[in-house]
Structure 1
């Protein structure tokens, strides 16, 4: 009996479900991961730069020192995720859900946080380091956070 040849393409990865996995240092850069599920996964030091994570679920994910620069995180679920030392440079988070997300020592230069619900203490902390303009949306990082 012949075994069918399976080819994983970028569109195949979009439905990927790697919830509750240890993915330390994994390289998912420049991939189509729209709608993917990374719930409760350990993505410490993972490279997701330049990827399409539109509508992806990263609920409770550990993203310490991960690279999310230039990612499309529109309408993604980041609730209860831990972002410590995470690079969000030029990321688009428009409409993402991040109410209980922990942002500590993150790089957010050029990130767009338009319509992202977050706790007031996290917004205040992010406003302290916010700068730049997102190259995709043209929005100012400080304005997208509602900084004064």
Structure 2
């Protein structure tokens, strides 16, 4: 109020200053008015921040404590993060985001990564042993020498990914999408049976005859389709928006 009153007095003085001698006074009054208006705007902005500050802080604390997406505590965000060598073993990381993350030498052994995002991620020598990688999007990822021993990779997408020298003993690639050249490379040494699903690694990759290879991918309408119980299991992992 005091700032507004001072501004009004200055405008009145400027209006009365009509002579040549008083032009200097008018200019000074105009400058003073601008300064007062700037001070009033700054004061109003400070008051707004003072009121919003605690509310925003409380919201940030709430989100941090809730964890994950929709408060379910599993969909964590590591997009473009540097998580080299970090230990994620045995964690619930369903639908988590590791897009373009640097996961070199990280440990995901025994973790539940169903539906997670590893698009363009670097997983050089990353340990995915015994992990659940079903429905994972790992296209265009660098998976050189990654450890996929006994991992469940059903319906995962690995198109344009580099799995050179990856350990796939006991891995289940049922209904997964891989480039033809990548499948041919893996079939040269793929072996073992997944201890969880009981599926042969070579069979899940479609290693063998051309006929079996063509019928081993869901993109082929005559190939194997996802079972209803697998669809139901995936739906149960989705967040509930409304009751």
Query: Shared fold (TM-score greater than 0.5)?
Result: yes
- Structure 2 distance, partners of 1:73, 1:17, is 17
- Unaligned 5+ segments in structure 2 are 1-53, 209-243
Within 5 Å, which residues of 2 pair with 1:1-148? 6=65, 12=73, 14-148=74-208
| Cα separation, partners in 2 of 1:7 and 1:37, compared to 1, 3 Å | closer
Two-structure CA RMSD over aligned residues (Å): 1.7
Aligned length: 145
- Segments of structure 1 that go 5 or more residues without pairing to the other structure are none
SS at match of 2:163: strand
Structure 1 runs, 4 residues or longer, greater than 6 Å off: none
What displacement does 1:32 show? 0.3
Please list the CA deviations of residues 56-87 of structure 1 after superposition, one character each: whole Å capped at 9, or x if unmatched.
Answer: 00001000011000010100001001101110
Q: Which has the larger radius of gyration?
A: 2
Residue by residue, what CA displacement relative to the aligned partner does 1:24-49 show, whole Å, maximum 9, x if unpaired?
Answer: 10110000000000000000000001
Greater RCO, CA 8 A, separation 6+ = 1
Compare the two structures and name the one with the higher strand fraction. 1
Under a length normalisation based on structure 2, what TM-score does the superposition of the two structures give?
A: 0.57
Contact 2:67–2:76 under 8 Å retained in 1: no
Cα offset, 1:7, TM superposition: 7.5
